[in-house]
């Protein structure tokens, strides 16, 4: 099964669902194959912030970014509930006033596909892939900051995050298209099962093939 999403030199945007675009806050505009630009139908109001779990080095960038988004840009910020369960965040009284403004969700229970205007990832390529997996169909534009070990798909540096976020919100951002491929690997298992012959005699040496899902992968590559 294959789904497609678009993704920028920092911004990722979906192209798999062209229906009901009037309801979307964002759209994509292509001038030529080498020049593609993100534009907004109306100013974005909500953002999903994805942080790599159990990485202490990302705590300060995460807090700094969230303060900027909520206090300065006055945006609705969505954060995974498990991120806020980190004692380094939940026990921080100075940051408590910010977390109270968050909209929280659980990735296995809540559907936020129609609530988020764009996504900001803090981490590496794995964090970006995880963010895309939260959306089964259309994926909002994704801005990925390289704060992890691998950063082939995360071009932004966090040092200038404020100006970079401003450019995305203002619709002044180039995009790079990416294809999201969902791959399931199946392996063949042979099982011996009893069966009846034409005369109703039970035979036990018949082999019947059964397929079982072994592994599932998600891959992002250039469109």
Catalytic annotation on 125?
A: yes
Give me the catalytic one of 14, 32, 91, 125: 125
Length of the chain, in residues: 223
Three state DSSP letters for the chain: CEEEEEECCCCEEECCCCCCHHHCCEEEEEEECCEEEEEECCCCCEEEEEECCCCHHHHHHHHHHHHHHHHHCCCEEEEEHHHHCCHHHHCCHHHHHHHCCCEEECCCCCCCCCCCCEEEEEECHHHHHHHHHCCCCCCCCEEEEECCCCCCCCCECHHHHHHHHHHHHCCCEECCEEEEEEEEEEEEEEEEEEEECCCCCEEEEEEEEEEEEEEEEEEEEEC
The residues annotated with a catalytic role in the active site are 125
């Amino acid at each position: 099964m294959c789904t497609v999403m678009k993704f920028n030199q920092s911004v990722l945007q979906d192209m798999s669902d062209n229906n009901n675009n009037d309801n979307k806050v964002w759209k994509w505009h292509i001038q030529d194959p080498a020049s593609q630009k993100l534009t907004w139908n109306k100013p974005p109001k909500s953002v999903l912030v994805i942080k790599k779990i159990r990485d202490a080095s990302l705590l300060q960038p995460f807090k700094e970014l969230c303060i900027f988004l909520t206090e300065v840009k006055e945006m609705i910020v969505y954060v995974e509930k498990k991120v806020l369960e980190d004692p380094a965040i939940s026990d921080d009284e100075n940051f408590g006033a910010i977390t109270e403004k968050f909209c929280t969700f659980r990735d296995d229970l809540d559907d936020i596909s129609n609530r988020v205007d764009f996504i900001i990832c803090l981490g590496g390529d794995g964090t970006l892939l995880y963010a895309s997996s939260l959306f089964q169909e259309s994926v909002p534009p994704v801005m990925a900051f390289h704060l992890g070990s691998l950063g082939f798909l995360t071009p932004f540096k966090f040092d200038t995050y404020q100006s970079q976020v401003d450019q995305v919100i203002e619709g002044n951002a180039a995009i790079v298209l990416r294809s999201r491929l969902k791959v399931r690997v199946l392996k063949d298992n042979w099982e011996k099962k009893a069966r009846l012959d034409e005369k109703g005699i039970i035979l036990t040496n018949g082999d019947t093939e059964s397929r079982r899902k072994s592994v599932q992968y998600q891959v992002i590559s250039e469109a």
